A and B are shown apart, each in its own frame.
Chain A
Amino acid sequence: MRRPEEQKMKRMESRISRSVLPFVFGLYAERRTFSLRLRYTICEIRNTTLAKNLCHTLFLLLLAVLVCAGSVSSADWEQAIGERAWSFPRDHGSHPEHRTEWWYFTGNLADKSGNRYGYQLTFFRHGIERTPKDPGNPWSIRDIYLAHFTITDVSGRKFWFAERTSRAGPGLAFSDMKGLNVRLLNWSARMVRNVIHLSARHKETEINLELVPQKPPVLHGHKGLSKKGPGEGQSSYYYSFTDLATTGTIRTPLSKQPVHVTGKSWFDQEFGSNQLSSDQAGWDWFSLHLSDGRDLMLYFLRRKDGTVEQASSGTIIEKNGASRHIRLSDISVDILGQWKSPKSNGTYPSRWRIRVPSAKIDLTISPYVPDQELITEGSAGITYWEGAVGGRGTSAEREVTCEGYVELTGYAGNIGGIF
Chain B
Amino acid sequence: MKIVTKAFLRYLFRRRSLSVLQLLGIACGVAAVIGMGLSARSALSSFNKAIEFLRGSSTHLIERPAGPIDEKMLAQLMQDPSVDFFAPVIDRRVRLTDGEAIHVLGIDPFLDRDIRPEISRAYFAEMGRSEREDHFSFFTDERSVLIDSNLAAQLKLGPGSRLETSQGVFTVINTFKNPSGEPLILMDIRNAQKMFDLKGSIDRVDLIVNDEAAFRSRWEKGFRIESKRQRQETLTALLYAFKLNLQALSLLALFVGTFLIYNTAMFAVVSRRRDAGVLRSLGARRIEIVAAFMTEIFFFGILGGALGAVFGYILSRFLTEIVGSAISTLYFFLKPSPQPWSLLTLAAGIAFGCIASLLGSVAPLIELILTEPVKAIRGRVAYRGGKRKAGKIALIGLGILCAAAIFLLFSFYHVYIGYAGTFVFLLGVSLFTGFTIMFVAPALKWVFSRIGGIQGKLAVANVRKNMGRTAVAIAAFMVALSMSIGLGSMIESFRHSLIWWMNSQLKGELYVSTKGDADVPEDFYEEVKRVPGIGGVDTYRNVQVTFRGAPVYITAINASILQRFTRFGWVSGGNENWEPVKQGSVIVSESFSRRFNIKKGDTVTVEGIEGAVQFPVTAIFYDYTTEHGLIMMDRSTYIRHFQDRTINSLGVFVDPRYPERDKVIAEVKKRAQDRNLPTATRSELHNTILSVFDNTFAVTRSMRVLAIIVAFFGIAGALMTLFVERRREFGIYRALGFSVRQIAGMTLFEGIGMGLVSFIMSIGVGTALALILIKVINLRSFNWTIFYHFTFDPYLLAGITAIAASIGASLYPIWKVYRTYPQIQIREE
How many whole Å from B129's CB to the nearest CB in chain A? 8
> A141's closest neighbor in chain B, by CB?
B139
CB of A378 within 8 A of CB of B113, answer yes
Q: How far is the CA of A378 from the CA of B194 in the complex (A)?
A: 27
Q: Is A134 an interface residue (CB 8 A)?
A: yes
Q: Is A343 an interface residue (CB 8 A)?
A: no
Quick one: given A133-B140, A417-B124, A417-B125, are A140 and B190 in contact (CB under 8 Å)? yes
Q: Is A201 an interface residue (CB 8 A)?
A: yes
> B140's closest neighbor in chain A, by CB?
A133
Q: Is A381 an interface residue (CB 8 A)?
A: yes
Q: Is B283 an interface residue (CB 8 A)?
A: no
Q: Is A402 an interface residue (CB 8 A)?
A: no
CB of A172 within 8 A of CB of B79, answer no
Q: Which A residues are CB-close (under 8 A) to B74?
A: 169-172
Quick one: given A139-B108, A417-B128, are A128 and B72 in contact (CB under 8 Å)? no
CB of A139 within 8 A of CB of B189, answer yes
Q: Is A357 an interface residue (CB 8 A)?
A: no
Q: How far is the CA of A185 from the CA of B83 in the complex (A)?
A: 11
Quick one: given A139-B193, A172-B78, A417-B125, are A20 and B135 in contact (CB under 8 Å)? yes
Q: Which B residues are CB-close (under 8 A) to A72?
A: 134, 136
Q: Which A residues are CB-close (under 8 A) to B78?
A: 172, 185-186
CB of B124 within 8 A of CB of A71, answer no
CB of A137 within 8 A of CB of B128, answer no
Q: Is A415 an interface residue (CB 8 A)?
A: yes
CB of A71 within 8 A of CB of B108, answer no
How many whole Å from B30's CB to the nearest CB in chain A? 49
Contacting B at CB under 8 A, from A149-203, are 165-167, 169-172, 185-186, 201-203
How many whole Å from A154's CB to the nearest CB in chain B? 26
Q: Is B450 an interface residue (CB 8 A)?
A: no
User: Interface digits, B187-215 against A, CB 8 Å rule (1 contact, 0 not)?
Assistant: 01110011000011000000000100000
CB of B133 within 8 A of CB of A417, answer no
CB of B194 within 8 A of CB of A134, answer yes
Quick one: given A134-B194, A417-B125, A418-B128, are A141 and B136 in contact (CB under 8 Å)? yes
Choice from B125, B135, B142, B193 contacting A68 with Cβ under 8 Å: B135
CB of A166 within 8 A of CB of B111, answer yes
Choice from B75, B84, B128, B190 contacting A134 with Cβ under 8 Å: B190
Q: How far is the CA of A129 from the CA of B141 in the complex (A)?
A: 13
Q: Is B574 an interface residue (CB 8 A)?
A: no
How many whole Å from A226's CB to the nearest CB in chain B? 27
Q: Is B71 an interface residue (CB 8 A)?
A: yes
CB of A170 within 8 A of CB of B190, answer no
Q: How far is the CA of A186 from the CA of B71 in the complex (A)?
A: 17
Q: Which B residues are CB-close (under 8 A) to A201?
A: 81
Q: Which B residues are CB-close (under 8 A) to A138?
A: 71
CB of A186 within 8 A of CB of B108, answer no
Q: Is A64 an interface residue (CB 8 A)?
A: yes
CB of B113 within 8 A of CB of A165, answer yes
Q: Is A375 an interface residue (CB 8 A)?
A: no
Q: Which A residues are CB-close (under 8 A) to B75?
A: 170-172
CB of A419 within 8 A of CB of B125, answer no
Q: Which B residues are CB-close (under 8 A) to A262?
A: none
CB of A415 within 8 A of CB of B128, answer yes
Q: How far is the CA of A67 from the CA of B135 in the complex (A)?
A: 10
How many whole Å from A96's CB to the nearest CB in chain B? 17
Q: How far is the CA of A49 from the CA of B791 in the complex (A)?
A: 85
Q: Is B410 an interface residue (CB 8 A)?
A: no
Quick one: given A137-B193, A137-B199, A418-B128, are A171 and B72 in contact (CB under 8 Å)? yes
Q: Which A residues are CB-close (under 8 A) to B135?
A: 19-21, 68, 71, 418
Q: Is A416 an interface residue (CB 8 A)?
A: yes
Contacting A at CB under 8 A, from B99-128, are 108, 110-111, 113, 121, 124-125, 127-128
CB of B134 within 8 A of CB of A137, answer no
How many whole Å from A15's CB to the nearest CB in chain B? 16
Q: How far is the CA of A133 from the CA of B134 in the complex (A)?
A: 14
Looking at chain B, what size class is its interface with the partner chain?
Answer: 20 to 34
How many whole Å from A202's CB to the nearest CB in chain B? 8
Q: Is B131 an interface residue (CB 8 A)?
A: yes
Q: Which B residues are CB-close (under 8 A) to A64?
A: 128
Choice from A140, A167, A169, A418 contacting B127 with Cβ under 8 Å: A418
Q: Which A residues are CB-close (under 8 A) to B125?
A: 416-417
Quick one: given A172-B75, A201-B81, are A128 and B136 in contact (CB under 8 Å)? yes
User: Interface digits, A1-40 against B, CB 8 Å rule (1 contact, 0 not)?
Assistant: 0000000000000000001110000000000000000000
How many whole Å from A413's CB to the nearest CB in chain B? 13
Q: Which A residues are CB-close (under 8 A) to B142?
A: 133
Q: Which B residues are CB-close (under 8 A) to A203?
A: 84, 210
CB of B108 within 8 A of CB of A169, answer yes
CB of A71 within 8 A of CB of B134, answer yes
CB of A139 within 8 A of CB of B188, answer yes
> B134's closest neighbor in chain A, by CB?
A71
How many whole Å from A71's CB to the nearest CB in chain B? 5
User: Interface digits, A99-136 against B, CB 8 Å rule (1 contact, 0 not)?
Assistant: 00000000000000000000000000000110001101
Quick one: given A201-B81, A415-B128, are A71 and B140 in contact (CB under 8 Å)? no
Q: How far is the CA of A381 from the CA of B210 in the complex (A)?
A: 27
Q: How far is the CA of A186 from the CA of B210 in the complex (A)?
A: 15
Q: How far is the CA of A137 from the CA of B84 in the complex (A)?
A: 26
Quick one: given A19-B135, A166-B111, A201-B81, are A417 and B121 in contact (CB under 8 Å)? yes
Q: How far is the CA of A185 from the CA of B108 in the complex (A)?
A: 13
Contacting B at CB under 8 A, from A341-392, are 378, 381
How many whole Å from B19's CB to the nearest CB in chain A? 61
Q: Which A residues are CB-close (under 8 A) to B128?
A: 21, 64, 381, 415-418
Q: How far is the CA of A36 from the CA of B139 in the complex (A)?
A: 36
Q: Which A residues are CB-close (under 8 A) to B131?
A: 67
CB of B190 within 8 A of CB of A139, answer yes
Q: Which A residues are CB-close (under 8 A) to B121?
A: 417
Q: Which B residues are CB-close (under 8 A) to A128?
A: 136, 139-140
Quick one: given A415-B128, A418-B128, are A167 and B140 in contact (CB under 8 Å)? no
Q: Which B residues are CB-close (under 8 A) to A129?
A: 136, 140
Q: Which A residues are CB-close (under 8 A) to B124?
A: 381, 417-419
How many whole Å from B87's CB to the nearest CB in chain A? 11
User: Interface digits, A287-304 against B, CB 8 Å rule (1 contact, 0 not)?
Assistant: 000000000000000000
Q: How far is the CA of A165 from the CA of B188 in the complex (A)?
A: 15
How many whole Å from B214's CB to the nearest CB in chain A? 15
Choice from B71, B81, B84, B133 contacting A170 with Cβ under 8 Å: B71
> B78's closest neighbor in chain A, by CB?
A185
Q: How far is the CA of A200 from the CA of B136 in the complex (A)?
A: 28
CB of B140 within 8 A of CB of A141, answer yes
Q: Which A residues are CB-close (under 8 A) to B71?
A: 138, 169-170
Quick one: given A20-B135, A165-B113, are A170 and B72 in contact (CB under 8 Å)? yes
CB of A167 within 8 A of CB of B108, answer yes
User: Interface digits, B644-673 against A, CB 8 Å rule (1 contact, 0 not)?
Assistant: 000000000000000000000000000000
Q: Which B residues are CB-close (under 8 A) to A170?
A: 71-72, 74-75, 200
How many whole Å from B267's CB to the nearest CB in chain A? 66
Q: How far is the CA of A133 from the CA of B136 in the complex (A)?
A: 12
Q: How far is the CA of A381 from the CA of B113 in the complex (A)?
A: 13
> B106's closest neighbor in chain A, by CB?
A139
A-B contact pairs, 22 of them (CB 8 A): A128-B140, A129-B136, A134-B190, A138-B71, A139-B108, A139-B188, A139-B193, A165-B110, A165-B113, A169-B74, A169-B108, A170-B71, A170-B74, A171-B75, A172-B75, A172-B78, A201-B81, A203-B84, A203-B210, A416-B128, A418-B127, A419-B110
Question: In the complex, given contacts A128-B139, A136-B199, what are 10 additional A-B residue pairs having Cβ atoms less than 8 angstroms apart?
Answer: A128-B136, A134-B194, A137-B194, A139-B108, A140-B190, A165-B110, A166-B108, A167-B108, A416-B128, A418-B128
User: Which residues of B come within 8 Å of A, CB atoms?
Assistant: 71-72, 74-75, 78-79, 81, 84, 108, 110-111, 113, 121, 124-125, 127-128, 131, 133-136, 139-140, 142, 188-190, 193-194, 199-200, 210
9 nearest A-B residue pairs (beta carbon): A171-B75, A139-B190, A165-B110, A170-B71, A418-B128, A417-B124, A185-B78, A141-B139, A166-B110
